[in-house]
Amino acid sequence: MTNVILPKPPGLSPLYLTLLGLAILLNAYVFLTPFLAFSGIESTLPFYEAGHFLCHQKITRSNCIFQGANGYYFGDCTAQNGTYFPSDYSIISILNGADVGYKLPVCARDVGIYVSLLLGLIAYPFLFGTRSLNVPNMLWFVLAITPLGIDGTLQLAGTLGYQLPIIGFYESTNLIRLLTGLLAGVALAIYIVPIVNNMMAFFVNESKPY
């Protein structure tokens, strides 16, 4: 009888693990910051300041962690009724009745992107393997980020004071921001792994002596 030896699976690539680790750290930063703020807002100011490099941080377009009688809960920092009003990024806390809330350090759209990026990266090895060099057709990526682009552009136009035909001044909601961010984040996860793998393969081949 001939023994059949199955090939050893390649395992998780270091590049993939690096991307996954960065996504985990990013999500930990986003969700732990408001909880840390309950222990002392002064100590978390650097975390919020760091978030300003990633996001506009308007509290009217963000989610908050509130502390109520029954514990902590997640919700919109302000009412999402399609009405825009200016809010400085430095506003960190807000009241929901008697409940104090601290905003996440990035807006609802960015939260959607970061969460789905992490979930997409977790699922990626089961679907494609971590060493894939096959980049899907970029048309699918464009389609995935189109809702985000449309919603963000219309919202920016309203913020700048441009009244749009039929709909007037447009202001998105956190639900729309979250959903468009989720779609874009999943697409980013699907594309970033093979793109990074291809970049590394290119540099490795270029460094080989001829």
State the CB neighbour count (10 A cutoff) for residue 55: 18
- What is the pLDDT, as a whole number, of residue 7? 43
Nearest CA-CA partner of 20 in 126, 115, 114, 118: 118
The string of pLDDT tens digits covering residues 187-210 is: 999 999 999 999 988 887 755 543
The string of pLDDT tens digits covering residues 103-115 is: 999 999 999 999 9
Is residue 93 classed as helix, strand or coil in its secondary structure? Answer: strand
Pairing of strands 93-96, 99-103: antiparallel
Owner of token pair 């093979």: 194
Distance, CA of 5 to CA of 25 (rounded, Å): 39
- What is the pLDDT, as a whole number, of residue 140? 97
Which residues lie across from 72 on neighbouring strands?
A: 67
